[in-house]
A and B are shown apart, each in its own frame.
Chain A
Amino acid sequence: MLKYIIRRLIQSIPTLLGITILSYLLMSLAPGGPARALTFGNQRVPPQEVARLEARLGLSDPFIIQYLRWLTGDDWMRWDSDGDGVSDGSFLIPLDADSDGVPEPPGTRRGIIRGDFGQSFFERRDVMRIIGERVPATLELGAASLLVGLIIGLPIGIVAAVRKGGAFDNFTRIMAVVFNALPVFWLGLILILVFGVLLKNATGGPFLPMGGRCPTTLTGCPPLHQRLHFLILPTFVLATGGIAGYSRYMRASMLDVINQDYIRTARSKGLTERNVWFKHGARNALIPLATFLGPSITGLLSGAAITETIFSWPGLGRTAVSAVTQQDYPVVMAVVIIAAIATVIGYILSDILYALIDPRIRFS
């Protein structure tokens, strides 16, 4: 099994490398650029300053150099050999990029293959720190919605299969289609309108918070159990897709299982319907679910861009959205790479889960 995991991990390296090249290429082909975004709207910044800024940020280097620097760092591209703090040697990139007569400072980046995602153009902080600050919020919302999706979706699927063709089945089928079709941005806004604007609580304030993760106070963010009401709306919006998906999947899987021989055997042994459905049926029907549970769990990391944005949820998805609009390449790329790694690991995880749950499957 260990051998299998290692082999899968090694196989994923070319995939990830391909993703880095493709995503970096797409990013750099996008029109405009961070230097212009940084200075736009300021009438007083002279044109030559924009050019200097571009040179200093390394944006005027050829694509391949920019990509290499991002992948492998720039500490080997511009260095200070005599330790006086001034760079005195360079490889592939100019010593004095902005041509002001003073060499640029020595490179300090180690590149993503050495775990360094660089610095945000806008916040001028390490990207990993920015992401680290956002991960807890994203996990909180993601876990809550996955949990709600499973807790509501699976029983609905089972019951719909048990009462196949009945009123409940038809109702939940329509519900699943509606939930799947509803755009989250629309649902989010409608819920904000209903629970934030139309419905009032006892003090005349909104019935549920219109957004945010913590109350607006000077005393810091309280622990999760004191601010569960902030989770309700965004969790529901994010869970709708899950509820729809899991319930349909579970129903189909249940109906599949129910025609198996061992179910007939169970029935013929005289087991109660309840025992047949839940002990023998549901447990086996859950096995195929493992295939997408893996990616779902690791997918929590990449955040939910739209829901987080609508509900001012301070997670990774919203960071990615604002980074894209600001053309903050290092942040965008970090989010893309993390999502890519999460997906690859998610699929490996689901393969492993599958084998663990289903004794018929063996690694080879």
Chain B
Amino acid sequence: MAGSDRRQFLLLALGVAVGGGAGVLARRAGIETSAPGRPRPPGAGAQGDFLAACIRCGQCVEACPWSTLHLTGLGDGVGAGTPTFDARRVPCWLCEGYDAPLCIEACPTHALRPLADLREARMGTAVLDEATCLAFLGTVCRACWHACPYPNEAIVFDEMLRPVVVPEVCIGCGLCEHACPTEGASAIVIRPHEAS
């Protein structure tokens, strides 16, 4: 919220109070609706559109069979009350075994839009920290590659068989972040898509 002035503050306060409408207001007012620090459920699409369409009903959270999703708190400002997940804790298992992600089916406003293919589920993008990744530290490890639903596509190997993320293919499910065997924080973390 750096540089936010009094008018923005008021709008944000309003946003928290009235939910989804604030997203629309915020966009109209040209306010940067910064993404929460966490990824979105599948089908959320562009950040601004999602914030506008999401009515903070929490039905996606209810529907999630893995308890992956939760709603953001007040600290998220204009995004407060919208769904997100912490992949280190529980990643998005892509509703394995179901025909389509249950959160999308549960969404009453199509804020989470039905997907023709799970590959369109752009929840975020995995970012690998070479400073903490075991493979880049000289330990042979491939846990993220193995966890990835699109191995050899979204996570590939460089010539030393170290993992490399292909952002164009990565859907941001966070299975890699969850699987990474570093202690504490993962060396590969899902970053939300930039606001559009």
Tell me whether A and B are bound partners. Answer: no
| Residues of chain B having any CB pair with chain A under 8 Å | none
| Residues of chain A having any CB pair with chain B under 8 Å | none
